[in-house]
Every structure is written in structure tokens, then in C-alpha cells.
Structure 1
Amino acid sequence: MTDRNARPGNRPQETLNGRLRRARGGLARAKAATALGLTEEALQRVEAGIAEPTVRQLREAAELYGVSVHWLLFGEGVPDPVLAHLGADVAALLRQFMRDRFGASAAEQLTPEELREVNDQADRLQALVGRLGGSGAREVEG
């Protein structure tokens, strides 16, 4: 049996632009750019390290990707790019659910059956957020 918490939260020598790319995870660059109010080309330049993001862009990226600004800047802590596209609040709730229910710190540590259960919870949160008039959660992929 493997240790579910053995996955490191950061990578040696990883840069801000590398963490931005990793945090975006499977979210298409075009969709992320639109959500951040950027062109796809502008986001590509930031992710390539050619351009520096503004403080506002860092805050918005952290919220969109479900990570902290501190992690984006310094690489400290354990992000979960699989949950990133859900937004910070929903991702935090699902991370807590995964820790409480399965003892997992990241979605990639879950079995397919456990992942289905997390997706059921994400669907419930999406319905709740929709009734409250917020943005919805999307399916978690492991």
C-alpha cells in the first residue's frame, strides 16, 4: 500500500510561471485566459516567463485555480491542480471532504470509485452554488 501523503507540494527550482502552468492543470489555456480577462497569447507569455503577471492577475489566477497566491509566488504548500478549476472555495471544500473521507490530500491519490464519490459531492456543490447564483463546479478528473 502506498502512502497517500507522500506526494511533494512543490518542485525544486520551479518558477512562478511553472507553478501557474501546473496550477492551471487540465483547464484549457483559452478558457483560463477568458476567465482571467486576458488573451490566450497574454496568458501564454506569462506562463512562458516572458511577461510578469500583475498582482490582480495573481489573485484572480489563485482563485480560479484553487491555490493560494502564496503558493504561486513561493511554491510552499500542497496545491491540487486536479481541483484547481473549481475555484478556491469549492476546491477547499472538496479537499477537506477527501481528507476526512479517504485520508487523501490530492485527487490523483483516489481510486476510480473514490473519485466518483468526490464527483457526486462536486455535483451537489454545483447545484447549491447554482441556486445561490454563483459559478458552478466542473467534474473532477483524476
Structure 2
Amino acid sequence: MTRQVSWPVAAAVAAVLLGGGAVNAQPPSGFGSRPAYSPYLNLNRPGGSVTQNYYGLVRPEVQARQSVGSLQGSVAANQQAIGGLQAGITAPPELPVTGHQATFLNYRSYFLSGGVAGTGAGGTSFRTAAPASARR
């Protein structure tokens, strides 16, 4: 006795055997994607009131997800900029000059040091002691 196989079953078996691609059971997930469950389900959590659960559980989780999403956007922008620099694309022009002279260690506005020797225009010069030969 021979057994006959129907055409739809044979076609399905052939498609499975010849299909050969990778099949994922679940879509790829990350911290920035949609959560597996809503954080608002924590509102009815026992052991605290609704406001305690909202401000202690729900709101921090939502803010953390938002900050991670913005951080991922910044990382993507930085990677794009680095890729552009490596490819030889010119960087945007430098920022314009503000006209304000910045100095290092400039405390003249905080102390009464007007006219005292040793304070230069840059705020970085220091008063030195007189040489030993001049002290006699």
C-alpha cells in the first residue's frame, strides 16, 4: 500500500526546507523600545497609595526611559559626526567670537586689587619676591 501526500502539505514542507532564513520568535528589544508592560500598572501596587506609587515608581521609570531615549539620540548624532570627520567631510564653521575676553584666575572683580602691582591684564601674573641682593 502506498500513501499519497496532498499538494498543499508537500508545498508547505518544501517552503520550510528551502526557506532557510533566520526566524525570530520575538522582535529585538532594547531599553529604549516600548516597555513589555505599561509602567502605569504600578499605580495599583499594594503597599502604598496611588500618589506614592506614581511619584515613587511610575514617574521615575518614565523619566528614565525618556532620558535614555535622548541619550541614544545624542550618541547617534555623535556617531554620525565622527563618521563624517573620518570620511573627510568638513566640520561646521567655528563659533563666532563673542567679544568678551576670558582670563584664567581673574579675581579682580571680587577683591580690592585695583592698582596693586602683580595683577596683569590677563589675571595670570603673580607678584614675585625681591631678589636676595636687593633685600639688604
Q: What is the TM-score normalised by the length of structure 2?
A: 0.22
In our comparison, the structure showing a higher alpha carbon Rg is 2
Greater relative CO, 1 or 2 (CA 8 Å, sep 6+): 1
Higher helix share: 1
Q: What is the TM-score normalised by the length of structure 1?
A: 0.21
